[in-house]
Amino acid sequence: MKALIELLRVPSLLTIQDAGRKGYRKLGVPVSGYMDDYSARIANYLVGNPGNTPLLEFLIAGPSVRFNASAVFAVVGDVEVRLNGVPIEPWTSHWAKRGDILEVGTLKSGLYGYIAFAGGIKCERLLESCSTYPRANLGRPLRTGDRLSLGHALLTGREGRYLPPELRPDYSGNKREIRVVLGPNLEHFTEKGIETFLSETYTVTPESDRMGYRLEGPAIEHSKAGADIVTEPLLPGAVQVPANGKPIVMMRDAQTTGGYAKIATVVSADLHLLAQSRPGMKVRFRAVGVEEAQEILGRLEKRMEAIRAFLEGKMRAYKVKVGGKEFTAFAGKVK
Amino acid sequence: MKIKPLGDSALLVSFGEVIDDEVNVRVHAIARAIEESNFEWLVETVPAYSSLLVIYDPLKVSHSEVEVSIGPLLNAEGRAFEGRLIEIPVVYGSSYGPDIEFVANYNGLSVDDVIEIHSKPVYRVYFLGFLPGFAYLGGMDERIATPRLGKPRLKVPAGSVGIAGKQTGIYPLESPGGWRLIGRTPLRLFSPAKEPPTLLQPGDRVKFVPIEESEFREIYLEEWGEGVD
């Protein structure tokens, strides 16, 4: 029987996302895709899917879902989860039977949570992706009563996978350091402006969404060249500074080009940390070189591979204490 | 020419902050040369007026390796890229272009002058951005340049043709917008189910052709599969 889920309650923004839309930016189509690639990929690995499989992304408050056939699912986020009223663990894959009801609560930290299903969510691929971008009618936010089909998957052996707390990303707390690569429009800023950006604390404002996060804080001084540039391409992570001097960090649904000077770009490995920062979060920026940013990303990717191998039972994780600090070590071979 | 990193996964090739036909032709020539090289680390290229973003997979290649690889392609001169000529039918004025009288008065012209001046040139699609299918067009006659609305409209219908300062453009989707609207095309500029999904491609040339309202309705029905509101 075809597996279906029905959305019984959708309290906030709920969308289907995957790794995003590539190859269409030259036509003005944003990349879109999951805001927190780190959590979303783990959610997929928990249910035995490739990392870029379409899944549900919710903003703070999770939905309630009814299964009309057996399925394996995992909820990822700092959140309470119930199956037929009984509390179950997040960051764990579970088996659901026909008629079961999954209730996902409200995130205690972070902004975006994920629900992955073995086999993924079946959806109409538009421009080679299932990612939702409502502004251009590429999908739409999901509503109460919507029914979604799940892809075919062998369920045996996919449930019971569990990621221990020490391996989960931590989105709690009220301040963060975010690493950036400076540029490319540094000639539009004074030395003092760049110094302000790198030494002051900025606060995420409520005027933040999947397109961009507006930050509040000391104004960044532009040089005589001013805040406006001849429109240039940009990417998620780019930090634009309009004439008011307050930075805007572009996110996954950002337009493909922009006309404000860019002081820096958030490194790929840290973009998920910013994406998970609620309004009120204090952010400080630290500059790193491109080579260092690429090394940081390489290390994060190795860790993701290890987490995947661990979830697939191909590796073991050990807690190691070094100088009073706890670390997790993986043993075994990837692949 | 300058090459600068845009974060850890892209490199921005910039020919200075200029809006110039020749420079833009060069941007498209380099974009083609890079795409045709089939580098396995290439994700995609994004052209703009006088700059080109080369997006790569940082897990496959380092920033400096990309710079070295594309180096010889940056002199792709003379490989001028002659885009297609696309005719865009437009109903000027009335409810389709509610600001056309303002544009005429602002510039001391008649409405007919505005239509003639706007539909005369062959415009160049410098690049696409802002919204899927939105073309930044070069070549508007400055005699019809008009500042944007003080307060943007909440809803501009798809296909609306507008003027903002020295630029003209077409809204591909219904969206908020502050351009002065002078007309509307019944053509669909963005169709996600089609390949390619946009009517206009970077480097194309565009000519606006004035039409009557009856023609608009006919073409609209054909393009959208439903009548206009």
CATH of the domain at A198: 2.40.100.10
If asked whether residues A23 and A152 sit together in one domain, one would say yes
State the pLDDT at residue A313.
87
Q: What is the DSSP string of chain B?
A: -EEEESTTSEEEEE--S---HHHHHHHHHHHHHHHHTT-TTEEEEEE-SSEEEEEE-TTT--HHHHHHHHGGGGG-TT------EEEEEEEESGGGSTTHHHHHHHTT--HHHHHHHHHSSPEEEEEE-SSTT-EEEE---GGG-BPPPSS-EEEE-TTEEEEEBTEEEE-SSSEEE-SEEEEE--S-SB-TTSSS-BS--TT-EEEEEE--HHHHHHHHHHHHSS---
- Is residue A294 included in any domain, yes or no? no
- CA distance linking residue B127 with residue B27, whole number of Å: 10
Instruction: Name the residue in chain B with its Cα closest to that of A127.
Output: B192
State the pLDDT at residue B44.
97
- Is residue A45 included in any domain, yes or no? yes
- Is residue A297 included in any domain, yes or no? no
- CATH fold of B85-224 reads Cyclophilin (2.40.100)
Domain boundary among A104, A132, A167: A167
Residue A335 has pLDDT above 90, yes or no: no
- Answer whether B190 sits within 8 Å of A136, measured CB to CB: yes
Residue B77 has pLDDT above 70, yes or no: no
DSSP code at position A143: -
Q: Number of A:B CB contacts under 8 A?
A: 143
Mean pLDDT of chain A: 95
Within the 149-208 window of chain B, which residues sit less than 8 Å (CB to CB) from chain A? Answer: 172-173, 175, 190, 192-193, 196-198, 201-202
Look up the CATH number of domain B2-75. Answer: 3.30.1360.40
Instruction: Give the residue-averaged pLDDT of A111-126.
Output: 96
- B106-143 residue pLDDT tens: 999 999 999 999 999 999 999 999 899 999 998 999 99
If asked whether residues A90 and A182 sit together in one domain, one would say no
Instruction: Enter the pTM of the model.
Output: 0.93
State the pLDDT at residue A278.
97
Shortest distance between the Cα of A268 and any Cα of chain B, in A, equals 7
- How much is the ipTM here? 0.94
Sequence spans of domains, chain B: 2-75, 85-224
Tokens read off for A186:
């540094």
Shortest distance between the Cα of A19 and any Cα of chain B, in A, equals 13
State the pLDDT at residue A3.
78
Instruction: Give the residue-averaged pLDDT of A204-233.
Output: 96
State the pLDDT at residue A292.
98
If asked whether residues A276 and A327 sit together in one domain, one would say no
If asked whether residues A142 and A264 sit together in one domain, one would say no
- Is residue A104 included in any domain, yes or no? yes
If asked whether residues A145 and A21 sit together in one domain, one would say yes
- Is residue A293 included in any domain, yes or no? no
- B181-216 residue pLDDT tens: 999 999 999 999 888 999 999 889 999 999 999 999
State the pLDDT at residue B80.
61
- Is residue A265 included in any domain, yes or no? yes
If asked whether residues A204 and A99 sit together in one domain, one would say no
B55 touching chain A per CB within 8 A? yes
State the pLDDT at residue A148.
97
Interface test with A, best of B6, B32, B64 (most A CBs within 10 A): B6
Of the listed ranges A113-117, B90-94, B164-168, the least confidently predicted one is: B164-168
- Is residue A295 included in any domain, yes or no? no
How many domains are contained in chain A? 3
Confidence of residue A298 (pLDDT cuts 50, 70, 90): very high
State the pLDDT at residue B78.
55
If asked whether residues A159 and A189 sit together in one domain, one would say no
Confidence of residue A2 (pLDDT cuts 50, 70, 90): confident
If asked whether residues A146 and A186 sit together in one domain, one would say no
- Rounded to whole angstroms, what are the CA distances from B184 to A98, A161, B87, B187? 52, 56, 13, 9
- Candidates B53, B173, B201; nearest CB to A233: B53
Domain of residue A308, residue span: 303-331
If asked whether residues A255 and A225 sit together in one domain, one would say yes
If asked whether residues A33 and A156 sit together in one domain, one would say yes
- A151-202 residue pLDDT tens: 999 888 899 999 999 899 999 999 999 999 999 999 999 999 999 999 999 9
Contacts of B46 in chain A (CB under 8 A): 25-26, 233, 256-257
If asked whether residues A202 and A309 sit together in one domain, one would say no
If asked whether residues A127 and A17 sit together in one domain, one would say yes
- Answer whether B6 sits within 8 Å of A235, measured CB to CB: yes
